[in-house]
Amino acid sequence: MPSSSQIACQLYTLRAFTKTPADIARTFARVKKIGYDAVQCSGMGPIDPRELKKILDGEGLTCCATHVPIDRMKAEPQKVIDDHLLWGCRYTAIGGFFIRDRAYTKADWEAFIPEYSALADRFAKGGVQLGYHNHSHELARFGGKTALQMMLDGLSKNVWWEIDTYWIAHGGADPIAWILKVAGRIPCVHLKDMDVVATPKVEQRMAEIGEGNLNWAGILPACKDAGVEWYIIEQDECYRDPFDSVAISLGNLKAMGLN
């Protein structure tokens, strides 16, 4: 099993506490004190890349990956690449391909695939790998094939896969199967659990790792077999203090053998 230095905190979980550079510095210090040695930078307010590097270095934190909006990747690819090289970060990704105002069509995915492939090839030439993070809408079927499978079949081999365990399960698929399906192309995985509440109505919701119903005894060995380098803890919505949530998830993962 990997060491705790390969476990990272996805800062999107703590986005309410990273709105200013001073917030970011305080949050990084708390994350380090909780026991993390790495972070994924996402959902933060504006900060000069050099100041972010100074905070990372000061806390002894590795920036293992980021999420960057696709519009910024397309508008200033070299600047995004240079920032990542400054931070010593090899991996970035988009949080997903979204259409907000209408239903997805097969043609939407067929247009996205070559566009994103070209962008990934551009980033790879600059020394940064571009990935795709799934939600559950990619598991909608178009002509018998899910959009996620369409992307796996069609995207450039320079695209890596940031499989999210919760969202795969939310879409009715098996996280273990998808982790293994992208073996060799999944340097970073998003770990979050799923539980169910039944008052006043039955709802799926996100939970701290080990506090829900996902099959961690199968997921973690699958990650190892698939070649995962970074085990990134994320919880989009927390039902207690988010700092407590990331601490609980870290403690439970270590208890499962990620020490």
The structure tokens listed for 89 are: 């970060």
- The CATH number of whichever domain residue 124 belongs to comes to 3.20.20.150
pLDDT, tens only, 21-44: 999 999 999 999 999 999 999 999
- Could you tell me what percent of the chain has a pLDDT over 70? 98
The predicted model gives 231-255 an average pLDDT of 98
76-115 b/e (C-beta count within 10 Å ≥ 16 → b): ebeebbebbeebebbbbbbbbbeeeeeebeeeebeebbee
CA pair distance 209, 233, nearest whole angstrom = 8
The mean of the pLDDT values for the chain is: 96
- Could you tell me what percent of the chain has a pLDDT over 90? 97
Q: How many domains does the chain have?
A: 1
pLDDT, tens only, 151-200: 999 999 999 999 999 999 999 999 999 999 999 999 999 999 999 999 88
CA pair distance 46, 36, nearest whole angstrom = 23
- List the domain range (segments joined by +) for residue 91: 4-255
What pTM, to 2 d.p., does this model score? 0.96
